[in-house]
Homo-oligomer: A and B are copies of this chain.
Amino acid sequence: MPQRRRVFFVSDRTGLTVEALGSSLISQFDAIDFVRVTLPFIDSADKAREAVAQINSAHRDSGKRPLVFSSLVNDAVRAEIDKVDGLVLDVFEKFIVPLEQELGQKSMHAVGKSHSAGNAKDYNHRIEAINYTLSHDDGVTHRGLEEADLVLVGVSRSGKTPTSLYMAMQFGIKAANYPLIPEDLEANRLPPSLIPLKEKVWGLTIQPERLHQIRRERRPDSKYASLDNCRYEVAAAEKLMRQADIPFLDSTTKSIEEIATTMLHEAQLVRRVY
């Protein structure tokens, strides 16, 4: 039986960063079965004491010392969490002292300086990009396509919508997307309305077997979903993109984050949201 460990992510904010960091670290130990719990908004000594009680009780139940990844700006809150009977790894504690030394300044130790609601400019960019992306999803309109930072193309169900939304949400990038339909594939050229925007166009491709599986769930027994048709469409779309000199990525072998980050950097887009 594999070793089983409880992992707690404790944060004075949302916990999203420390969750991502801790998840990435524990993924390096794949013989262990980790059970994850996030405790967000632990921003007072009282809440910290409750968190400690919860973590200690997990220890008693499981007999194994839990792992605690934390991000706690306030010293008093951190002091409480440090009392827990487990391995506590706090990112703030580990990094803030070398930063203070390097910068020759004390840090503010103020909770919620980033991602704060006060950041109205970021919020506006984000909402604007999401609205743009939603109204330019799946080629519904040509209008305003010239405003796009990026236009994604690919066959139906190759992952264009989630990727566009991720770019809008995470980076504030206006990402339109446009399907490559059988007529485009047959003509072996980009949809005519995209030709003037060629410099902004990126492609997505997908393995035919995976596409078949995805389409079959939506429309079983259709020609659209058949493996033969998926093979044809993917091969034709890749040929078209190569010929039109459109860079493309494979959504079967890359996560949405990887695709979005690659496009952001290779297209040298300016990120509007941090």
Contact = CB atoms under 8 A, between A and B. Distances in A.
Interface of A: 3, 5, 13-17, 19-21, 23-32, 36, 38, 40-41, 65, 67, 71, 73, 87, 89, 91-92, 94-96, 98-99, 102-103, 105, 107-110, 113-117, 119, 123, 126-127, 130-131, 134, 137, 159, 161-162, 165-166, 169-170, 214, 252-258, 260-262, 265, 274
A162 to B, nearest CB: 5
Given A94-B94, A102-B87, A257-B14, A41 B262 contact: yes
Given A21-B95, A28-B107, A29-B105, 18 more contacts: A14-B257, A15-B261, A16-B257, A24-B71, A24-B113, A24-B114, A26-B99, A28-B73, A28-B96, A29-B99, A40-B261, A41-B262, A87-B99, A94-B94, A116-B255, A123-B256, A127-B162, A169-B256
A115 B24 CA distance: 8
A274 B23 contact: yes
Contact of A113 (B27, B108, B126): B27
A25 B257 contact: no
Q: How many copies does the complex hold?
A: 2
Nearest to A17: B20
A211 to B, nearest CB: 13
Contact of A110 (B28, B91, B116): B28
Contacts of A29: 99, 103, 105, 107-108
A38 B30 CA distance: 28
B113 A28 contact: yes
